[in-house]
Amino acid sequence: MIRFILFVLSLGTSYSFADSNYSKEIEKFAEALVFEKYEETFELTGEQKLSIKAKPISSFLSFKECSQPLQGEIVGDKIKSKTSVKVTCNGNEQWDIYIRVQVQTLVPLIVASRSLSKGEILGTNNMELIYKAESQVRGSVFTSTDILTGARLKKNVSSERSIRHRDICYVCKDDKVTITANKNGLVIKASGIALSDGIIGETVQVMNSRTERIVVGTVYALKEVHVTF
């Protein structure tokens, strides 16, 4: 089942009727119509959510309850980012109204919960998960706090700004790291000092603390580098 965020909003028209509270029911009807059409046409993936907002009807306008079930039609029979819906009453008080409904796919991303300084360690106290319109998300972002916990910031990050790959290092220069080497199926671990920064999957230089030999390895996890001979 699609996770659906329903926002109670509406749109202005040139009609005037008796009951202003009925406007909200009209708005919900238009949003539900768009939701049903979206569910028939598209499929959300992963952690995506759906946001459907009807643009507000003017507060100066109200509607008398229709004596018949409301009828609805999506203009053009297509779901767009701004979808028009025609809502019609064929009861004793005949009327129709066009409502503009905004449709957005939301995606998760991790943002700073406050202004953060270079060198800070990321944890549950300084980052949070939010959902944002997919069209507004740029670049490589993180979708889980778990993978970021313990990483260090390489630059300042302002409050509510998304945390990106270029902002952090899992292995940072001068960190004490674990070097894991695999040679002929034999796994050997040693302590080392990082000589450069890197995120998971990047290569970094590290110096073996005992032999002082410098090797190049791949960042595998927080403060862990894998070397293959």
Domain ranges for the chain: 4-106, 108-168, 176-228
Question: What are 174-218's pLDDT values in tens digits?
Answer: 999 999 988 777 889 999 999 999 999 999 999 999 999 999 999
Neighbours of 176 (CB within 10 A): 10
d(CA 194, CA 171): 7
**Predicted confidence band of residue 165 (pLDDT cuts 50, 70, 90):** very high
The CATH architecture to which 108-168 belongs is Alpha-Beta Complex (3.90)
Question: What is the H or E stretch that residue 27 is in?
Answer: helix 22-41
The count of residues in the chain is 229
Weakest-pLDDT range from 73-82, 162-171, 177-186: 177-186
Question: What pLDDT sits at residue 228?
Answer: 81
Q: What percent of the chain has pLDDT over 90?
A: 70
User: Contact 146/127 with Cβ under 8 angstroms?
Assistant: no
Residue 16 has pLDDT above 50, yes or no: no
Residue 3 has pLDDT above 70, yes or no: no
Best CA proximity match to 181, nearest among 217, 213, 214: 217
Q: What are phi and psi of 165, to 5 degrees?
A: -60, -40
Question: What pLDDT sits at residue 18?
Answer: 40
Stated pTM of the model: 0.72
Residue 58 has pLDDT above 80, yes or no: no
**Facing residues of 71 across strands?**
88
Residue 145 has pLDDT above 80, yes or no: yes
| Per-residue CA distances from 27 to 18, 63, 131 (Å) | 16, 11, 23
CA dihedral 13→18→24→26, nearest 10 degrees, is -60
Q: Which CATH number fits domain 176-228: 2.160.10.10, 2.30.30.760, 3.30.750.24, 3.10.20.600?
A: 2.30.30.760
CB within 8 A of 77, min separation 6: which ones? none
Question: CA geometry: angle at 104 spanning 95 and 14, to 5°?
Answer: 20
